A and B are shown apart, each in its own frame.
Chain A
Amino acid sequence: MSTVIGIAFGNTTSSIAVEKDGKVEVIANQDGDRAIPSTLSYVNTDEYHGAQAKAQLVRHANNTITNFRDFIGKPFENIDVSNCHASAHPFNNDGEVAFKITANSEEILSVEEVVKRHLIKLIDSASDYIGKPIDGAVIAVPTDFTEAERKALVSIAEKANLKVLQVINEPTAALLAHASAGNHLPQDKITVVADFGGSRSDGAVIASRGGMFTVLATSHDYTLGGSNLDEVLIDFFAKEFQKKFNTDAKSEPRSLAKLRAECEQTKKTLSNSTSSTIAIESMAGGYDFHSTINRLRFEVASRSVFEKFTSFVEALVKKTGFDFLDIDEILLVGGTSQTPKIANALVNLFPESTKVVAPVTDTKAINPNELIARGCALQASLISSFEQEQIDESIEPVVTVAPHLTKSIGVQITNGTDKSDILTILEHDTALPIRKSKIVVAPQAGDALVAIFEGEPEIVVTRIEAPKKDESAPADDEESDWSEEEEDDEEIREKIVKAGKKLAEIGLEGVAPGAKIEVILNITKDLKLQVSAREIGGNGVAVRGVVA
């Protein structure tokens, strides 16, 4: 049994996890961090990693390397250097991205070298925890990582003595971890995975069909992340500082770095409690700074940023052409998802049928910081028993590219739970071939008709008239703003499935009234639909046929 781990390699933080006896454990590094900052710092002859390195941003910003993940495998002209403003600046080393470190002697570190050192530190932490050398890992990358960049990452890992079993997509890893933990892996769902990281946001709409995941759409925002919220707090406190001491805390890089570190901490505190204090000794001009902020004030100050998060998800859903009602679940990933306001805004935006999974809305939700690493660990343990050749063979397009149903297929029913007249058996966007069955009930009288239709989704809007307001009360200006909305008739939007194209009919004769009938749909490799129906426990034989 080989020792395999999952690595979530983020721009801001990285996590490592291991699966043991069906349980996934996220591994803390030597500092006790489970979200290990992807930061390396060089002071004199010492190398710092993780939180220790991040602390060096105040005093040795130029020798502290951050946000380097996105540079992997990219030429210098294609990289976005804006995230490295407050740390070591990348420079153009013959077209390649490199950092100049002047800690002890001047040293030029290529991105490969930096990533290699970072990975070595992560592996060390993992093998220290497990007590065995690490044989392999599954690493997750954002969906926009190109094939070449993935290969570059694998080759760097090889140099760090780490065998990469598979490189998987971050949103899928997160969804795998979430679905496995909740034991609802085989359920059919459309999930929006929104990954709000430290410096960027990634989103993906994923169809889960019987445990198989298909990414339907992705979107990325490279300027939206937790750092935007930090900026809001920095501005907020800098203004307060300016007012108190008439000193600009933002003009001095070191003061700014101190403020940034504390603001990040304050932001995290505000996710858990409703108010937080901030205290910085000798922040700027020799003045100590001490202040408090409550969550509401923070939320008001960063309203525009929160709106961006919400509209990011909204735009992503629109991209797929789905209605909000089609979305069964929104899974929030990344440290920024801890912020209550983001999850609450999404709850308000989406209908009740859409479940928003975040710590604030669901107490059982897994820490969004750890989802990706957990998913990687699960995948690693799944494939650890296979030969590398078998794994590589399985992720070839020949295997992964499969025909997907464009429309759902179901059986006609008379009294569904909603107003649908089709009970969906195979959802749209299900990978083929597939076999699935559902159990329905025979009518109380006579023989049963099993009619197979394609489903046509329809949004039914029912207007419920708002209860009449007391019209006699004179509405003043302020109230009228509110009442205008309330006076609107409440709309209830519902998604139902109507019968579309008829595919097949089966007549089941001689079934007992109210008997359970199993309807099996099977789409073969050559895309032929086989339908069969039989009475459970009855003595009637199954009726089956192939749709031509």
Chain B
Amino acid sequence: MSDTLPQLPSGWTAPEAFASFGSFTAPNKRAVEPVGPAFLAHARRTLHGRTWSEDEKIQAQENVIVADVVEEESEDEEGESEELLNHSARDWKTLDLYGALGLKRHRWRADEDKIRKAHRKSVLKHHPDKKAGQQDGFFKCIQKAFEILMDPTKRKQFDSVDSRADVLPPTKFNADNFIELWGPVFEAEGRFSRVQPVPKIGTMESPKEEVNKFYSFFYALDSWRTFEFLDEDVPDDTSNRDNKRYIEKKNFAARKKRKTEELARLRKLIDTAIASDPRIKLFKENEKAAKEKAKWDREADTRKAAEDAKKAAEEAAAAKEAEEKAAKEAKEGAKKNKEAAKNAKKKNKRTIRGSVKDVGYFGESSAAQIDAILSDVDALIEKFDDLELSEVAGKLAGVTDASTVKSVFTESATKHAIPAKFFA
């Protein structure tokens, strides 16, 4: 470091040890190239109106937050249960390999880096050199677990049968907690998929396509799940080759059987889920409603035509009825008039006939005379039309004078020139 400051001249004074002489030459405006990390910082400062130190502080804070998260992640200390600690390394097939490394919570989600870190931690804690006088069984378990989990093939075989990572389908659930309860089930099943990422169960608001895609993905799940881990140990002795082959064959058959069972199980699981998925019910309902509406809309024309026809027919019927009614009324009126006329005629006739009786047959008493009078009256009545009948009846009504009656009859007889026997 050779850049040395000059000495402070003696007698140099300034308020607060700072003296200002003048501002720097006016800057000119130029465009910065919008490229590179430094520009990002510049843009951040400019857009947020931060000063240099403010921005540094905020960035530092953000970094601190990130660092905290990292630490938190590594701080998932998991205590080992007594059972795990006493597990014999010889029975490693029944061992919870993840538990041995303290990765109970992560299981198949743990990446290689995490496993390595967890292993290191476990080793530091459980190394036999640190536990003098104790059994080193658990350390062997740790080593075995690490060996298996670091080998991708072996790890897959273990993951395939790691029932501790399975999430059993819920037995009791309703539309409200369907997603909540079934989501983890499918997430766990999805770990076997060769195709990643696996679609998520979605939300209650997921569209139909998404839900369909989700279920069809699981129906067609390309699973890497294998069951080699459950194989019966093949004896390593060369003496009995037949037995060895027999066991190998048995293992193969068992694997195949398990795989088939696994397929059936998954299918059943999806069927159950679909059958109770409230979204699918909703889609079906919506679809039905939509279909009906479409049908309703489609038939609107025919419906309208039918309505129109019906209306027209009704109108026609009404018109016809009114007409008929009118006709009937007219007919009835005519009948009434006719009857009235008939009655009047009868009455008139009765009056006319009665008039001769009322006047005592003009004093005639012989049967022949009376007969002649009556036949004349009848002949006259026959001759009268309706008008004349009423006119004559009017003349005769209430008349008690025989001569008047006689003159009326005589007049009528002359008028009609009937061969009258009496009223000549």
Contact = CB atoms under 8 A, between A and B. Distances in A.
A315 to B, nearest CB: 21
Interface in B1-21: 1-9, 12-14, 16-21
A449 B8 contact: yes
Contact of A454 (B16, B24, B29): B24
A447 B14 CA distance: 14
A544 B34 CA distance: 33
A407 B25 CA distance: 7
B80 to A, nearest CB: 35
B4 A505 contact: no
B18 A543 contact: yes
Given A433-B52, A449-B12, A507-B12, A442 B4 contact: yes
B61 to A, nearest CB: 18
Contacts of A279: none
Nearest to B12: A507
Contact of B33 (A206, A432, A438, A449): A206
Contacts of A431: 30, 32, 42
Chain A contact residues: helix, strand, loop or mixed = strand
Nearest to A394: B43
Contact of B17 (A375, A378, A400, A509): A509
A214 B17 contact: no
B45 interface: yes
Contact of A443 (B6, B19, B46): B6
Nearest to A206: B33
A527 interface: yes
Contact of B24 (A393, A395, A407): A407
A308 interface: no
Interface in A373-425: 375, 378-379, 382-383, 393-395, 397-407, 409, 411-417, 423
B35 interface: yes
A133 interface: no
Contacts of B47: 393-394, 399
A97 B34 CA distance: 31
A75 interface: no
Contact of A449 (B7, B36, B45): B7
A439 B1 CA distance: 8
Contacts of A503: 20-24
A447 B4 contact: no
Interface in A520-548: 522-525, 527, 529, 531, 543-548
A454 B24 CA distance: 7
A98 interface: no
Contacts of B5: 411-414, 440-443, 448-450, 508, 517
B6 A412 contact: yes
B10 to A, nearest CB: 8
A212 B31 contact: no
Contacts of B29: 401-404
Contacts of A168: 33-35
A478 B376 CA distance: 189
B7 A443 contact: yes
B2 A415 contact: yes
Interface in A481-517: 501-509, 516-517
B4 A429 contact: no
A446 interface: yes
A400 B31 contact: yes
B37 interface: yes
B28 A406 contact: yes
B38 interface: yes
Interface stretch (A59-67, A169-177, A239-247): A169-177
Contacts of A416: 2-3
B33 A215 contact: yes
Contacts of A412: 5-6
B398 interface: no
A210 interface: yes
Contacts of A522: 52-53
Interface string A205-219: 010001111111000
Given A406-B27, A448-B6, 8 more contacts: A176-B36, A379-B35, A394-B39, A394-B47, A398-B46, A414-B6, A433-B45, A529-B24
24 contacts: A172-B35, A176-B35, A211-B38, A212-B33, A382-B37, A383-B40, A401-B31, A403-B28, A406-B27, A412-B6, A413-B3, A441-B1, A443-B5, A449-B12, A502-B21, A505-B21, A507-B8, A507-B12, A507-B18, A517-B5, A527-B27, A543-B17, A543-B18, A547-B24
9 closest A-B pairs by beta carbon, nearest first, are A211-B38, A545-B18, A403-B27, A447-B8, A394-B43, A213-B33, A435-B52, A172-B33, A395-B34
Interface of B: 1-9, 12-14, 16-40, 42-43, 45-47, 49, 51-53
